[in-house]
Amino acid sequence: MDFDYDTRAFDGLELTLRELESVATQKRVLKKALRAAAQPILVAMKTRYQQQFQDDTGLLSASFRLSVRVQRKTGVLAAYIGVQSRKPAMRATGKKHQLPPSVYASFLEHGTSAYTQAGTRHPGLPARPFIRPAFDQNIEQSLHRLAAALRAGLDKALARQNRKSIKT
């Protein structure tokens, strides 16, 4: 899905970010803004999954995650939204599973081809995407939220920084 987004909402934010003296504060503001921006995508993904599938074990829905991380080598901050296999989620269901939730989600999202195993023909599974459509439908809203959250976070951090500089 193609879309056009006017990036003028981000004008000046990079310069304002550089006004913050602490790199830790910069990271904190960016992480909080990314998390707020990505939240609608996560909610839409969960909603689409619940509408399309009956979750018999709860393992897959318990594995939906949003995490924001800084990549060590590049320093790039990224939000990861999707199915992340987690041992606590697997233990919480009380069942042993042969496939991690991320693999199972991929089968649901993209489908599988027909195959024969031990003489039994399996028809395959048609694709029933729920992750990509959630992203496509919410990316523009998320970018608007990112700009707003960055602006609010930067204003708050700069005000705190200015209060500290007045005290000293």
- Phi first, then psi: give them for residue 74, nearest 5 degrees: -100, -20
Pairing relation of β-strands 64-70 and 120-122? unpaired
The whole-angstrom separation of Cα 157 and Cα 25 is: 7
The whole-angstrom separation of Cα 86 and Cα 94 is: 13
DSSP 8-state secondary structure symbol assigned to residue 98: S
**pLDDT truncated to tens, each residue of the chain (168 aa)?**
566 777 777 788 888 888 888 888 989 999 999 999 999 999 999 999 999 998 777 788 888 999 999 888 888 889 999 998 766 666 666 666 667 888 889 999 999 999 998 999 999 999 999 999 999 999 999 999 999 999 999 999 999 988 888 876
The whole-angstrom separation of Cα 52 and Cα 161 is: 48
Q: Based on C-alpha coordinates, what's the Rg of the chain?
A: 21
**Looking at residue 93, what is its pLDDT?**
63
**Looking at residue 88, what is its pLDDT?**
62
* Contacts with 12 (C-beta within 8 Å, 6 or more apart), sequence order: none
**Looking at residue 130, what is its pLDDT?**
95
**Looking at residue 155, what is its pLDDT?**
92
